[in-house]
A and B are shown apart, each in its own frame.
Chain A
Protein backbone atom coordinates (compact mmCIF):
# COMPACT_ATOMS: atom_id res chain seq x y z
CA UNK A 1 0.00 0.00 0.00
CA UNK A 2 1.14 3.59 -0.44
CA UNK A 3 2.82 5.77 2.16
CA UNK A 4 0.86 7.84 4.69
CA UNK A 5 0.57 11.47 3.55
CA UNK A 6 2.93 14.14 4.85
CA UNK A 7 1.68 16.87 7.22
CA UNK A 8 3.29 20.11 8.34
CA UNK A 9 3.09 20.90 12.04
CA UNK A 10 2.70 24.35 13.63
CA UNK A 11 2.92 24.92 17.39
CA UNK A 12 1.97 27.93 19.48
CA UNK A 13 4.05 28.29 22.63
CA UNK A 14 2.66 29.54 25.89
CA UNK A 15 3.97 33.05 25.52
CA UNK A 16 1.32 34.48 23.25
CA UNK A 17 3.35 34.21 20.04
CA UNK A 18 1.88 33.06 16.72
CA UNK A 19 1.92 29.40 15.65
CA UNK A 20 5.33 28.54 14.27
CA UNK A 21 6.33 25.80 11.85
CA UNK A 22 8.24 23.12 13.78
CA UNK A 23 8.50 20.22 11.36
CA UNK A 24 6.53 17.56 9.60
CA UNK A 25 5.31 13.99 10.03
CA UNK A 26 3.36 11.23 8.32
CA UNK A 27 -0.16 10.30 9.39
CA UNK A 28 -3.13 8.52 7.82
CA UNK A 29 -5.57 11.32 8.69
CA UNK A 30 -5.87 14.68 10.44
CA UNK A 31 -6.74 13.22 13.83
CA UNK A 32 -3.69 10.98 13.80
CA UNK A 33 -1.55 13.88 12.60
CA UNK A 34 -2.54 15.94 15.66
CA UNK A 35 -1.91 13.02 17.98
CA UNK A 36 1.49 12.27 16.46
CA UNK A 37 2.39 15.96 16.52
CA UNK A 38 1.66 15.99 20.22
CA UNK A 39 3.95 13.00 20.77
CA UNK A 40 6.77 14.17 18.55
CA UNK A 41 6.81 17.94 18.92
CA UNK A 42 5.46 18.76 22.40
CA UNK A 43 7.12 16.28 24.76
CA UNK A 44 8.81 19.05 26.73
CA UNK A 45 6.09 21.69 27.07
CA UNK A 46 6.94 23.33 23.76
CA UNK A 47 3.41 24.50 23.20
CA UNK A 48 -0.26 24.73 24.05
CA UNK A 49 -1.81 24.59 20.59
CA UNK A 50 -1.18 22.49 17.48
CA UNK A 51 -2.10 23.09 13.84
CA UNK A 52 -1.52 20.45 11.18
CA UNK A 53 -1.97 20.91 7.46
CA UNK A 54 -1.33 18.51 4.61
CA UNK A 55 1.97 19.44 2.99
CA UNK A 56 0.39 19.10 -0.46
CA UNK A 57 -2.07 21.88 0.46
CA UNK A 58 0.65 24.45 1.04
CA UNK A 59 1.28 26.90 -1.79
CA UNK A 60 4.75 28.40 -1.65
CA UNK A 61 6.47 31.21 -3.52
CA UNK A 62 9.21 30.14 -5.90
CA UNK A 63 12.85 31.02 -5.27
CA UNK A 64 13.28 32.15 -8.90
CA UNK A 65 10.49 34.69 -8.40
CA UNK A 66 12.33 36.16 -5.44
CA UNK A 67 13.41 39.34 -7.23
CA UNK A 68 10.03 40.07 -8.78
CA UNK A 69 8.22 39.41 -5.51
CA UNK A 70 10.43 41.05 -2.93
CA UNK A 71 12.70 43.53 -4.62
CA UNK A 72 10.21 46.42 -5.02
CA UNK A 73 10.13 46.87 -1.25
CA UNK A 74 13.78 47.94 -1.34
CA UNK A 75 12.89 51.01 -3.47
CA UNK A 76 10.31 52.23 -1.00
CA UNK A 77 12.69 53.50 1.63
CA UNK A 78 10.03 55.96 2.83
CA UNK A 79 8.27 52.95 4.44
CA UNK A 80 10.96 52.80 7.10
CA UNK A 81 10.99 55.11 10.11
CA UNK A 82 14.70 55.80 9.61
CA UNK A 83 13.89 57.58 6.31
CA UNK A 84 12.70 60.63 8.24
CA UNK A 85 15.36 62.89 9.70
CA UNK A 86 13.82 64.71 12.64
CA UNK A 87 15.35 67.37 14.91
CA UNK A 88 17.49 65.86 17.69
CA UNK A 89 15.05 67.03 20.40
CA UNK A 90 12.29 64.75 19.03
CA UNK A 91 14.35 62.04 17.32
CA UNK A 92 13.45 59.34 19.85
CA UNK A 93 9.92 59.38 18.31
Chain B
Protein backbone atom coordinates (compact mmCIF):
# COMPACT_ATOMS: atom_id res chain seq x y z
CA UNK B 1 0.00 0.00 0.00
CA UNK B 2 2.42 2.59 -1.11
CA UNK B 3 3.87 4.87 -3.73
CA UNK B 4 4.63 4.06 -7.36
CA UNK B 5 6.56 5.96 -10.01
CA UNK B 6 7.26 9.00 -7.85
CA UNK B 7 8.75 11.89 -9.83
CA UNK B 8 11.66 13.82 -8.32
CA UNK B 9 11.61 16.94 -10.47
CA UNK B 10 15.25 16.43 -11.47
CA UNK B 11 16.39 15.67 -15.01
CA UNK B 12 19.89 14.47 -14.24
CA UNK B 13 21.93 13.36 -11.24
CA UNK B 14 24.42 15.90 -9.99
CA UNK B 15 27.91 14.89 -8.95
CA UNK B 16 29.15 16.13 -5.57
CA UNK B 17 31.33 18.68 -7.43
CA UNK B 18 28.35 20.23 -9.17
CA UNK B 19 26.48 20.78 -5.91
CA UNK B 20 26.47 23.89 -3.78
CA UNK B 21 28.19 23.62 -0.41
CA UNK B 22 24.85 23.13 1.35
CA UNK B 23 23.70 20.48 -1.11
CA UNK B 24 26.98 18.64 -0.77
CA UNK B 25 26.83 18.68 3.04
CA UNK B 26 23.26 17.38 2.80
CA UNK B 27 24.24 14.53 0.45
CA UNK B 28 27.23 13.63 2.60
CA UNK B 29 25.00 13.34 5.64
CA UNK B 30 22.77 10.94 3.75
CA UNK B 31 25.77 8.98 2.50
CA UNK B 32 26.92 8.66 6.12
CA UNK B 33 23.48 7.18 6.98
CA UNK B 34 22.53 10.14 9.14
CA UNK B 35 18.84 11.00 9.31
CA UNK B 36 17.37 14.23 8.00
CA UNK B 37 14.95 15.85 10.44
CA UNK B 38 12.12 18.33 9.75
CA UNK B 39 13.98 21.50 10.72
CA UNK B 40 17.19 20.62 8.88
CA UNK B 41 17.97 22.35 5.62
CA UNK B 42 17.07 20.18 2.62
CA UNK B 43 16.98 20.75 -1.15
CA UNK B 44 13.58 21.80 -2.38
CA UNK B 45 13.42 18.81 -4.73
CA UNK B 46 14.00 16.41 -1.81
CA UNK B 47 11.20 18.06 0.16
CA UNK B 48 8.78 18.00 -2.77
CA UNK B 49 9.57 14.43 -3.74
CA UNK B 50 9.05 13.26 -0.17
CA UNK B 51 5.71 15.07 0.03
CA UNK B 52 4.68 13.36 -3.19
CA UNK B 53 5.86 9.94 -2.03
CA UNK B 54 4.60 10.04 1.57
CA UNK B 55 1.23 11.54 0.68
CA UNK B 56 0.74 8.96 -2.09
CA UNK B 57 1.58 6.29 0.45
CA UNK B 58 -0.91 7.80 2.91
CA UNK B 59 -3.64 8.06 0.27
CA UNK B 60 -3.11 4.38 -0.55
CA UNK B 61 -3.73 3.46 3.07
CA UNK B 62 -7.05 5.24 3.32
CA UNK B 63 -8.34 4.41 -0.17
CA UNK B 64 -7.37 0.82 0.65
CA UNK B 65 -9.94 0.90 3.44
CA UNK B 66 -12.76 1.18 0.89
CA UNK B 67 -12.72 -2.28 -0.76
CA UNK B 68 -12.18 -3.92 2.64
CA UNK B 69 -14.71 -1.85 4.58
CA UNK B 70 -17.22 -2.92 1.98
CA UNK B 71 -16.92 -6.53 3.22
CA UNK B 72 -17.25 -5.90 6.96
CA UNK B 73 -21.01 -6.47 6.96
CA UNK B 74 -20.64 -9.57 4.83
CA UNK B 75 -17.78 -11.33 6.62
CA UNK B 76 -18.71 -15.03 6.99
CA UNK B 77 -18.22 -15.28 10.77
CA UNK B 78 -18.06 -12.99 13.78
CA UNK B 79 -14.37 -13.83 14.17
CA UNK B 80 -13.56 -12.78 10.60
CA UNK B 81 -15.65 -9.64 11.00
CA UNK B 82 -13.78 -8.59 14.16
CA UNK B 83 -10.44 -9.25 12.44
CA UNK B 84 -11.42 -7.28 9.36
CA UNK B 85 -12.61 -4.33 11.44
CA UNK B 86 -9.29 -4.33 13.32
CA UNK B 87 -7.40 -4.40 10.03
CA UNK B 88 -9.39 -1.57 8.48
CA UNK B 89 -8.88 0.49 11.65
CA UNK B 90 -5.13 -0.13 11.36
CA UNK B 91 -5.18 1.15 7.77
CA UNK B 92 -6.75 4.39 8.97
CA UNK B 93 -3.97 4.64 11.56
CA UNK B 94 -1.30 4.00 8.92
CA UNK B 95 -2.76 6.80 6.85
CA UNK B 96 -2.58 9.08 9.88
CA UNK B 97 1.06 8.24 10.70
CA UNK B 98 1.99 8.97 7.10
CA UNK B 99 0.00 12.19 6.76
CA UNK B 100 1.67 13.37 9.98
CA UNK B 101 5.11 12.56 8.57
CA UNK B 102 4.28 14.56 5.43
CA UNK B 103 2.96 17.48 7.50
CA UNK B 104 6.45 17.93 9.00
CA UNK B 105 7.55 18.94 5.48
CA UNK B 106 5.28 21.98 5.43
CA UNK B 107 2.05 20.81 3.82
CA UNK B 108 -1.28 20.52 5.64
CA UNK B 109 -3.45 17.43 5.68
CA UNK B 110 -6.30 19.33 4.04
CA UNK B 111 -3.98 20.32 1.19
CA UNK B 112 -3.08 16.66 0.71
CA UNK B 113 -6.75 15.64 0.76
CA UNK B 114 -7.50 18.33 -1.78
CA UNK B 115 -4.76 16.95 -4.05
CA UNK B 116 -6.22 13.46 -3.74
CA UNK B 117 -9.80 14.54 -4.35
CA UNK B 118 -8.93 16.68 -7.35
CA UNK B 119 -7.04 13.75 -8.91
CA UNK B 120 -3.65 15.49 -8.82
CA UNK B 121 -2.26 13.07 -6.25
CA UNK B 122 -2.21 9.32 -6.87
CA UNK B 123 -2.67 6.27 -4.71
CA UNK B 124 -1.49 2.72 -5.39
CA UNK B 125 -2.90 1.19 -8.59
CA UNK B 126 -3.93 -1.95 -6.71
CA UNK B 127 -6.94 -0.32 -5.07
CA UNK B 128 -8.58 0.27 -8.41
CA UNK B 129 -9.42 -3.43 -8.68
CA UNK B 130 -12.71 -4.74 -7.28
CA UNK B 131 -13.00 -7.11 -4.29
CA UNK B 132 -15.64 -9.41 -5.81
CA UNK B 133 -15.83 -12.29 -3.33
CA UNK B 134 -14.88 -13.01 0.27
CA UNK B 135 -11.76 -14.80 -0.97
CA UNK B 136 -10.55 -11.46 -2.36
CA UNK B 137 -10.28 -10.10 1.18
CA UNK B 138 -7.95 -12.93 2.23
CA UNK B 139 -5.96 -12.52 -0.99
CA UNK B 140 -5.58 -8.78 -0.45
CA UNK B 141 -4.13 -9.45 3.01
CA UNK B 142 -1.78 -12.14 1.76
CA UNK B 143 -0.57 -10.57 -1.50
CA UNK B 144 -1.28 -6.84 -1.35
CA UNK B 145 -0.17 -6.38 2.23
CA UNK B 146 2.66 -8.82 1.54
CA UNK B 147 3.86 -6.68 -1.37
CA UNK B 148 3.55 -3.56 0.79
CA UNK B 149 5.73 -5.17 3.48
CA UNK B 150 8.49 -5.84 0.93
CA UNK B 151 8.66 -2.13 0.26
CA UNK B 152 8.00 -0.81 3.76
CA UNK B 153 10.55 -2.86 5.69
CA UNK B 154 13.55 -1.20 3.99
CA UNK B 155 11.88 2.23 4.30
CA UNK B 156 12.32 1.95 8.08
CA UNK B 157 15.92 2.89 7.28
CA UNK B 158 15.14 5.70 4.83
CA UNK B 159 16.87 9.06 5.19
CA UNK B 160 13.92 11.12 6.42
CA UNK B 161 13.43 10.62 10.18
CA UNK B 162 9.64 11.08 10.49
CA UNK B 163 8.98 8.80 7.49
CA UNK B 164 11.32 6.11 8.83
CA UNK B 165 9.67 6.26 12.26
CA UNK B 166 6.19 6.04 10.74
CA UNK B 167 7.34 2.95 8.85
CA UNK B 168 8.49 1.28 12.06
CA UNK B 169 4.95 1.52 13.44
CA UNK B 170 3.34 0.48 10.17
CA UNK B 171 5.57 -2.58 9.78
CA UNK B 172 4.78 -3.80 13.28
CA UNK B 173 1.08 -3.90 12.37
CA UNK B 174 1.39 -5.02 8.76
CA UNK B 175 2.51 -8.51 9.69
CA UNK B 176 -0.87 -9.12 11.34
CA UNK B 177 -2.54 -8.02 8.10
CA UNK B 178 -0.67 -10.47 5.96
CA UNK B 179 -1.03 -13.39 8.35
CA UNK B 180 -4.77 -12.92 8.85
CA UNK B 181 -5.21 -12.87 5.07
CA UNK B 182 -3.26 -16.05 4.62
CA UNK B 183 -5.13 -17.67 7.50
CA UNK B 184 -8.43 -16.79 5.87
CA UNK B 185 -7.29 -18.30 2.55
CA UNK B 186 -6.05 -21.37 4.36
CA UNK B 187 -9.57 -21.93 5.69
CA UNK B 188 -11.02 -21.62 2.18
CA UNK B 189 -8.39 -23.81 0.56
CA UNK B 190 -9.11 -26.58 3.06
CA UNK B 191 -12.84 -26.19 2.65
CA UNK B 192 -15.36 -27.36 0.06
CA UNK B 193 -14.61 -27.54 -3.66
CA UNK B 194 -16.57 -24.33 -4.12
CA UNK B 195 -14.48 -22.54 -1.49
CA UNK B 196 -11.28 -23.77 -3.12
CA UNK B 197 -12.49 -22.54 -6.50
CA UNK B 198 -13.27 -19.17 -4.97
CA UNK B 199 -9.75 -18.91 -3.50
CA UNK B 200 -8.16 -19.89 -6.83
CA UNK B 201 -10.30 -17.37 -8.70
CA UNK B 202 -9.21 -14.60 -6.34
CA UNK B 203 -5.54 -15.52 -6.78
CA UNK B 204 -6.01 -15.55 -10.57
CA UNK B 205 -7.31 -12.00 -10.50
CA UNK B 206 -4.94 -10.49 -7.89
CA UNK B 207 -1.60 -12.06 -8.80
CA UNK B 208 -0.61 -9.84 -11.72
CA UNK B 209 -1.92 -6.56 -10.26
CA UNK B 210 0.06 -7.39 -7.09
CA UNK B 211 3.27 -7.72 -9.14
CA UNK B 212 2.48 -4.38 -10.78
CA UNK B 213 2.35 -2.74 -7.35
CA UNK B 214 6.16 -2.65 -7.39
CA UNK B 215 6.07 -0.38 -10.44
CA UNK B 216 7.68 -0.82 -13.85
CA UNK B 217 11.35 -1.81 -14.15
CA UNK B 218 13.47 1.17 -13.07
CA UNK B 219 15.76 0.85 -16.09
CA UNK B 220 17.29 4.22 -16.77
CA UNK B 221 14.78 6.19 -14.70
CA UNK B 222 16.48 9.30 -13.37
CA UNK B 223 13.77 9.54 -10.70
CA UNK B 224 14.57 6.11 -9.27
CA UNK B 225 18.26 6.87 -9.35
CA UNK B 226 17.75 10.20 -7.57
CA UNK B 227 15.43 8.63 -4.97
CA UNK B 228 18.01 5.94 -4.30
CA UNK B 229 20.75 8.54 -3.97
CA UNK B 230 18.57 10.30 -1.39
CA UNK B 231 17.85 6.96 0.30
CA UNK B 232 14.11 7.38 0.15
CA UNK B 233 14.07 4.32 -2.09
CA UNK B 234 16.34 1.50 -0.99
CA UNK B 235 15.86 -1.25 -3.58
CA UNK B 236 14.89 -1.28 -7.24
CA UNK B 237 11.36 -2.24 -8.25
CA UNK B 238 12.59 -5.43 -9.90
CA UNK B 239 14.60 -6.53 -6.87
CA UNK B 240 11.59 -6.19 -4.57
CA UNK B 241 9.29 -7.87 -7.09
CA UNK B 242 11.64 -10.85 -7.40
CA UNK B 243 11.88 -11.16 -3.63
CA UNK B 244 8.09 -11.07 -3.37
CA UNK B 245 7.67 -13.79 -6.01
CA UNK B 246 10.29 -16.01 -4.40
CA UNK B 247 8.49 -15.80 -1.06
CA UNK B 248 4.97 -16.16 -2.46
CA UNK B 249 5.42 -19.28 -4.60
CA UNK B 250 5.99 -21.70 -1.69
CA UNK B 251 3.16 -19.99 0.23
CA UNK B 252 0.79 -20.68 -2.69
CA UNK B 253 1.93 -24.31 -2.69
CA UNK B 254 0.97 -24.71 0.98
CA UNK B 255 -2.45 -23.34 0.10
CA UNK B 256 -2.69 -25.82 -2.78
CA UNK B 257 -3.36 -22.94 -5.16
CA UNK B 258 -1.83 -22.43 -8.58
CA UNK B 259 -0.18 -19.13 -9.48
CA UNK B 260 -1.59 -18.08 -12.86
CA UNK B 261 1.71 -17.86 -14.73
CA UNK B 262 2.69 -20.67 -17.11
CA UNK B 263 6.26 -19.36 -17.32
CA UNK B 264 6.82 -19.50 -13.58
CA UNK B 265 9.63 -21.90 -12.71
CA UNK B 266 12.60 -22.19 -10.39
CA UNK B 267 15.92 -21.18 -11.96
CA UNK B 268 18.70 -23.00 -10.16
CA UNK B 269 21.40 -20.89 -11.72
CA UNK B 270 19.88 -17.57 -10.64
CA UNK B 271 18.59 -18.92 -7.33
CA UNK B 272 15.25 -17.26 -8.12
CA UNK B 273 11.96 -18.02 -9.82
CA UNK B 274 11.68 -17.01 -13.47
CA UNK B 275 8.31 -15.54 -14.31
CA UNK B 276 6.23 -14.42 -17.27
CA UNK B 277 5.97 -11.07 -18.99
CA UNK B 278 3.98 -8.42 -17.09
CA UNK B 279 1.47 -6.44 -19.14
CA UNK B 280 2.65 -2.92 -18.29
CA UNK B 281 0.05 -1.29 -20.51
CA UNK B 282 -2.51 -2.41 -17.92
CA UNK B 283 -0.65 -0.61 -15.12
CA UNK B 284 -0.34 2.58 -17.16
CA UNK B 285 -4.07 2.53 -17.93
CA UNK B 286 -4.94 2.07 -14.25
CA UNK B 287 -2.58 4.86 -13.21
CA UNK B 288 -4.13 7.12 -15.84
CA UNK B 289 -7.51 6.60 -14.20
CA UNK B 290 -8.94 3.84 -16.39
CA UNK B 291 -8.82 0.87 -14.01
CA UNK B 292 -11.99 -1.04 -13.13
CA UNK B 293 -12.73 1.03 -10.00
CA UNK B 294 -10.86 4.36 -10.25
CA UNK B 295 -13.97 6.51 -10.52
CA UNK B 296 -15.88 4.59 -7.87
CA UNK B 297 -13.06 4.74 -5.31
CA UNK B 298 -12.46 8.43 -5.72
CA UNK B 299 -16.14 9.38 -5.66
CA UNK B 300 -16.68 7.24 -2.52
CA UNK B 301 -13.74 8.94 -0.86
CA UNK B 302 -15.00 12.41 -1.77
CA UNK B 303 -18.51 11.56 -0.61
CA UNK B 304 -17.23 10.33 2.77
CA UNK B 305 -15.16 13.50 3.16
CA UNK B 306 -18.02 15.82 2.25
CA UNK B 307 -20.57 14.03 4.39
CA UNK B 308 -18.21 14.24 7.38
CA UNK B 309 -17.75 17.97 7.03
CA UNK B 310 -20.55 18.96 9.42
CA UNK B 311 -19.03 16.69 12.09
CA UNK B 312 -15.63 18.34 11.74
CA UNK B 313 -17.19 21.81 11.85
CA UNK B 314 -19.39 20.98 14.86
CA UNK B 315 -16.47 19.56 16.85
CA UNK B 316 -14.45 22.68 16.21
CA UNK B 317 -17.35 24.99 17.08
CA UNK B 318 -17.88 23.03 20.31
CA UNK B 319 -14.20 23.34 21.22
CA UNK B 320 -14.26 27.09 20.57
CA UNK B 321 -17.44 27.54 22.61
CA UNK B 322 -15.82 25.74 25.56
CA UNK B 323 -12.82 28.05 25.39
CA UNK B 324 -15.07 31.14 25.46
CA UNK B 325 -17.11 29.73 28.35
CA UNK B 326 -14.00 28.95 30.36
CA UNK B 327 -12.63 32.46 29.86
CA UNK B 328 -16.05 34.05 30.69
CA UNK B 329 -16.10 32.16 34.00
CA UNK B 330 -12.67 33.40 35.03
* A residues apposed to B, CB below 8 Å: 1-4, 6, 22-26, 28-29, 32, 39-40, 43-44, 60, 62-63
Whether A63 pairs with B40 at a CB distance below 8 angstroms is: yes
Whether B39 pairs with A3 at a CB distance below 8 angstroms is: no
Residues of B within 8 A of A26 (CB): 109
The docked-state distance in angstroms from the alpha carbon of A2 to that of B110 is 9
Which of B89, B96, B166 is in CB contact (< 8 Å) with A43? B89
Whether B41 pairs with A4 at a CB distance below 8 angstroms is: no
Q: With A3-B108, A3-B109, A25-B96 in contact, is A63–B315 under 8 Å at CB? A: no
A-B contact count (CB 8 A): 52
Whether B318 pairs with A28 at a CB distance below 8 angstroms is: yes
Residues of B within 8 A of A60 (CB): 39
Main secondary structure of the interface of B (DSSP, over half): helix
Residues of B within 8 A of A22 (CB): 169
The docked-state distance in angstroms from the alpha carbon of A32 to that of B311 is 13
| A57 nearest CB across to chain B (Å) | 15
Whether A4 pairs with B316 at a CB distance below 8 angstroms is: yes
Q: Could you give 30 example pairs across A and B, Cβ below 8 Å?
A: A1-B309, A1-B312, A1-B316, A3-B109, A3-B110, A4-B312, A4-B315, A6-B100, A22-B169, A23-B96, A23-B100, A23-B165, A23-B166, A24-B103, A25-B96, A25-B100, A28-B312, A28-B316, A28-B319, A29-B315, A29-B322, A39-B93, A40-B96, A43-B89, A43-B90, A60-B39, A62-B39, A63-B37, A63-B40, A63-B41
The docked-state distance in angstroms from the alpha carbon of A39 to that of B316 is 20
Q: Which of A2, A28, A39 has the most CB of B within 10 A?
A: A28
Q: Which residue of the partner chain A has the closest CB to B323?
A: A29
Q: With A1-B312, A1-B316 in contact, is A24–B39 under 8 Å at CB? A: no
The docked-state distance in angstroms from the alpha carbon of A24 to that of B98 is 10
Whether B97 pairs with A23 at a CB distance below 8 angstroms is: yes
Whether B97 pairs with A6 at a CB distance below 8 angstroms is: no
Whether A40 pairs with B93 at a CB distance below 8 angstroms is: yes
Residues of A within 8 A of B108 (CB): 3
Residues of B within 8 A of A25 (CB): 96, 100
| A46 nearest CB across to chain B (Å) | 9
Whether A43 pairs with B315 at a CB distance below 8 angstroms is: no
Q: Which residue of the partner chain A has the closest CB to B111?
A: A3
The docked-state distance in angstroms from the alpha carbon of A65 to that of B86 is 44
Q: Which residue of the partner chain A has the closest CB to B310?
A: A1
Closest 8 pairs (CB-CB, A-B) = A29-B319, A28-B315, A28-B319, A24-B100, A1-B313, A28-B316, A3-B110, A63-B40
Q: Which residue of the partner chain A has the closest CB to B322?
A: A29
User: Interface code B158-169, partner A: CB below 8 Å = 1, 0 otherwise?
Assistant: 000000011001
Q: Which residue of the partner chain A has the closest CB to B39?
A: A63
Whether B316 pairs with A6 at a CB distance below 8 angstroms is: no
Q: Which residue of the partner chain A has the closest CB to B313?
A: A1
Residues of A within 8 A of B172 (CB): 44
Q: Which of B93, B100, B165, B309 has the most CB of A within 10 A?
A: B100
User: Interface code B173-210, partner A: CB below 8 Å = 1, 0 otherwise?
Assistant: 10000000000000000000000000000000000000
| B196 nearest CB across to chain A (Å) | 33
User: Interface code B79-96, partner A: CB below 8 Å = 1, 0 otherwise?
Assistant: 000000010011001001
The docked-state distance in angstroms from the alpha carbon of A65 to that of B204 is 58
User: Interface code B31-66, partner A: CB below 8 Å = 1, 0 otherwise?
Assistant: 000000101110000000000000000000000000
Residues of A within 8 A of B316 (CB): 1-2, 4, 28
